[in-house]
Structures are given as structure tokens and as C-alpha cells.
Structure 1
Amino acid sequence: MTAALVEVEVEYRGRGRVLGPFSLAAAAGEIVALVGPSGCGKSTALRLLAGLEAPTSGEVHRAAGRGETAVVFQLPTLAPWLSAQANAALPLELAGTARPEARARALEALQRVGLGGAENARPAQLSGGMAMRVSLARALVTEPRLLLLDEPFAALDEITRRTLADDVLALCAASGPAVVFVTHNVEEAVYMASRVVVMTPGPGRLAGEIAVPGPLPRPAGFRTREGFRATAEAVSDLLAASGAR
């Protein structure tokens, strides 16, 4: 496994336990969607995998080398004073890569996410979808073994969400990282993932998981297939049975 949480629990002073016991695993080339009600600990689980916090108990196994784990958050969190190219190059430059090489690799990453020609634009000059593409390029520039996506499309319109979903699937198919994708949207989870993990209301535990049949990236018309609809209904039923509201 590229990444795993093993019977982890997280407790905060004054709030008590917010997650667990909870286990999760993701292998190279696999996309795992994590769904559950608000407050169940989805983002907390992602922070554990990112190394941004430690569990109160349990074990975390992750790609811990420099640049081997990348995170894309709900908001692009771009430096407003830097160009798209400089933003995408930032992880490499912070890791000590010479600026000319970092900028060249950042330009390649921007081209991969469909932003060739926009490398000199500042964040204020970008649409929401374009800014998220820069964030994706910044995450992919280090060629991570583990890619963590924390509701990256939540603030975007439906057309942009669907376009970016297909782009992320194509990029992941090309580079093959393990991907853990947090979302509130059941249909988005089923479309993006090969496996959907459902969490109970907080403190989040495993309610169950459902495999999603079909190839990745998704073929045209996948959302209209009976298997897609049936899987989405199965995930929704599992959420309801777990007590999610």
C-alpha cells in the first residue's frame, strides 16, 4: 500500500474524539473516494495522510519523502503575487531545485493541465477553474506517489467540475499515483473513484465501502449507464443506513 491509516483515532482538547477508530488504504494507481456527513472526519483523515497532523492513536503509513505526497485543497491557495508558472514551480524551488529547471518543469505541468499559454497570468487574472488547474499543476509537478484531493471542485460550477474531473482522471492514469479524494457529492465520488469508502457521522468510522465497476478514465456517457446509477444509489443507501443526514 502506498498509503494507509490503521485504526487511527484523533482527539482534540475540549472536543473529544473527532475520528475513529478508522482504517483506510490506497494502492498505487488506485483512486479512493471518501464520503460521509459533515463533521465525520474526512478532512482530518486526509490531514493524517498528508502528515499535517498526527493521530492520537493508531498508525499512519504514507509516502513520506520530499515531494512524494501532494495535496489539493478546496481553494487553490495560490500566491497572488506570483505568476501561474511561479506558483506551480514553488514546491520544486522550496525543495532546492534550481529555478530554471523548476520553472521548466512547472511549464510542462501547466501544459498537462491545459494551461499552456497562461503561464504568465497572475491568480487574479484566472477564472476559478483555471486557478484550480494551477493548483493541480503545482501538486503534480513533483510527480507524487500520493495525491490527496480535499473537495477541490466544491466551489466550481457543474460544467467546470465535470471537465476537471475528467482531466484529473486522465492525469492520474498517466502518472499512476495513489489518490484519496474527499467529496460530499455521491455522484462525483462514484464517477471519480474505483472504490468509495463511506464514513459514519462523527467521530467517523467505517460504515462500508463499495467498488465502482468500469474503466478509468471514464468513457463518454458513463453517468447514464445503469451500473453508475446503481452504484450511486448503493452509496446513498449506505450513507443513510449509517445515520448520515
Structure 2
Amino acid sequence: MSLDIAAGEIVALVGPSGCGKSTALRLLAGLEAPTRGTVTRAAGRGETAVVFQSPTLAPWLSAQANVALPLELAGTPRPEARRRADEALARVGLCAAVAARPAQLSGGMAMRVSLARALVTSPRLLLLDEPFAALDEITRRTLADDVLALWATTQPAIIFVTHNVEEAVYMASRVVVISCGPGRIVGDFPVEGPLPRPPQFRTQAAFRTTVEAVSASLAEGVAA
């Protein structure tokens, strides 16, 4: 499997369960080492942040403290870390929830806190591993737009895993289809249109055409 990601690019990885999508993200994050081949990052790479399917928040900490945690672990003084955490929470629309603990948050709010924690370090590479899988459709769509709006401010490279083809085409500038394990790239589809997406983007003919092309490639990859 050979894959290049450009700075500021948004790439979706789709494929059947077990094909290696999440493993690819773990390799990019440095959480695993490849048994063969190499993972190469450009010089001056900046921070990498990961958002998992579960928000993975510390239940005993407030939203503010959860978001400030990576900064404090990196040595940022607590007052500065908490100030930046408040700014990150404001960016995801959670100004009023800085003192709330995870048990007091809805699923969508908890995922927003997780996104704020990822963004607080100003990453140049943001990895999203099915972050919306457990959420209802309305919340998923809202958070998809939120992620694209956040991307527009600093434009990190984003690689995200999803089983939802429409979500992949909506959020990404490029959709990569992976076959059954051992995973191989069987399709690489550019997605035309501005980012963030304009209203009614899902109803446009180009969107529907790309969704159908990705779906057909995915079906061929499963059958292969």
C-alpha cells in the first residue's frame, strides 16, 4: 500500500471492516511501527492529533481540564493551558460547558470536547478514526460541517476513517478505497467542490456521481 498525503489535504479512507484503515491511522500517528516499508513525514512536521471513535475523556476532569491536558503534559504552564483550552472549547461551541464533566455531556458534546483537545495543540496532521460512528445522523452532519469550518482556519492535513460513503465524499477532497485485508488501494477519487461545503452540496449531481463511483469501487474491493 502506497499513499501520499499533501499538506492541508483532507483524505477519507473507506473500506470493509478489518482491511487496515485504523492500522493506517495508527502508523501515521506513530502509535505502531510498520513491519515492512516506511512512514515518512516532511521536516518541520508540527503536531499530530488523533480523535478516536470514543471520545476517551478522563471522567474525573472537567471539559476544560481534559482539553488542557496535552498542553500541560508538554510543559505548558497551567494558566496558559487552561486559557488555550477555553479558546478551543469556544471554537467548537462549548463556551458554557467548560466546567462540565464527561458524564454531564451528550455524545455529540463529548465528541466536540475530544475535537477541541485535538485542536488545542494546533496540529498539522489531524487523524479521525470514525469519530461520528456512534452519533445520530443530524449530529453527524452538524459535526462534519464543524470539522470543515475548523479546518478552514488553520488547514491541517486531515485523514479520517469512515464506513459512510456519503460522509466521506462530503468531508474529503479525496476518497481512498481500500480492499479486504490485506488491504490494497483499489480506488482514489478526487471530490470536486469548495471546502467547507456550500448548502445543498449533497443534492448536487457531482456529489451523487462521486458517491456512486466510490460505492461501486468499494463493492468491487469487497468482492476481490
- Is this contact kept in 2: 1:67–1:142, CA < 8 A? no
Taking the aligned partners of 2:223 and 2:192, their CA distance within structure 1 comes to: 24
User: For the structure 1 residues 213 and 231, does the alpha-carbon distance in structure 2 shift closer, same or farther, using more than 3 Å as the test?
Assistant: same
Q: Report the counterpart of residue 199 of structure 1 in structure 2.
A: 178
Alignment of structure 1 residues 204-243 onto 2, 5 Å = 204-243=183-222
| Matching of residue 150 in structure 1 with residue 129 in structure 2 | yes
User: For the structure 1 residues 63 and 144, does the alpha-carbon distance in structure 2 shift closer, same or farther, using more than 3 Å as the test?
Assistant: farther
Taking the aligned partners of 1:120 and 1:65, their CA distance within structure 2 comes to: 35
Deviation at 1:244, TM superposition (A): 4.8
Deviation at 1:222, TM superposition (A): 0.4
- State which of 152, 156, 160 in structure 2 corresponds to 1:173: 152
Higher helix residue share: 2
Report the count of equivalent residues.
224
Taking the aligned partners of 2:223 and 2:119, their CA distance within structure 1 comes to: 33
Q: Deviations over 1:168-224 (max 9, x none)?
A: 001011111000010000000000000000001001011120000100000000001
Taking the aligned partners of 1:64 and 1:52, their CA distance within structure 2 comes to: 19
Taking the aligned partners of 1:63 and 1:244, their CA distance within structure 2 comes to: 36
Taking the aligned partners of 2:67 and 2:139, their CA distance within structure 1 comes to: 20
- State which of 45, 51, 55 in structure 1 corresponds to 2:34: 55
For 1:34, the aligned partner's letter is L
Taking the aligned partners of 2:178 and 2:198, their CA distance within structure 1 comes to: 28
Please list every run of at least 4 consecutive aligned residues from structure 1 whose deviation after the TM superposition is greater than 6 angstroms.
63-67
Taking the aligned partners of 1:190 and 1:23, their CA distance within structure 2 comes to: 21
For 1:139, the aligned partner's letter is A
For 1:73, the aligned partner's letter is F
- Kindly report the root-mean-square deviation, in angstroms, between the aligned alpha carbons of the 2 structures: 1.5
Deviation at 1:226, TM superposition (A): 0.7
Q: Deviations over 1:87-126 (max 9, x none)?
A: 0001000000000000000000000011011100000000
- Is this contact kept in 2: 1:199–1:205, CA < 8 A? yes
Structure 2 unmatched runs, 5+: none
For 1:68, the aligned partner's letter is E
Taking the aligned partners of 2:132 and 2:33, their CA distance within structure 1 comes to: 26
Matched position secondary structure for 1:23: coil
Taking the aligned partners of 1:46 and 1:218, their CA distance within structure 2 comes to: 25
- Is this contact kept in 2: 1:37–1:244, CA < 8 A? no
- Is this contact kept in 1: 2:187–2:214, CA < 8 A? no
- Is this contact kept in 1: 2:45–2:124, CA < 8 A? no
- The normalised TM-score by structure 1 is 0.89
- State which of 95, 111, 128 in structure 1 corresponds to 2:74: 95
For 2:147, the aligned partner's letter is V
Deviation at 1:242, TM superposition (A): 1.9
Deviation at 1:62, TM superposition (A): 3.1
Taking the aligned partners of 2:50 and 2:136, their CA distance within structure 1 comes to: 21
- State which of 127, 140, 161 in structure 2 corresponds to 1:182: 161
- The normalised TM-score by structure 2 is 0.97
Matched position secondary structure for 1:34: strand
| Matching of residue 31 in structure 1 with residue 44 in structure 2 | no
Structure 1 unmatched runs, 5+: 1-21
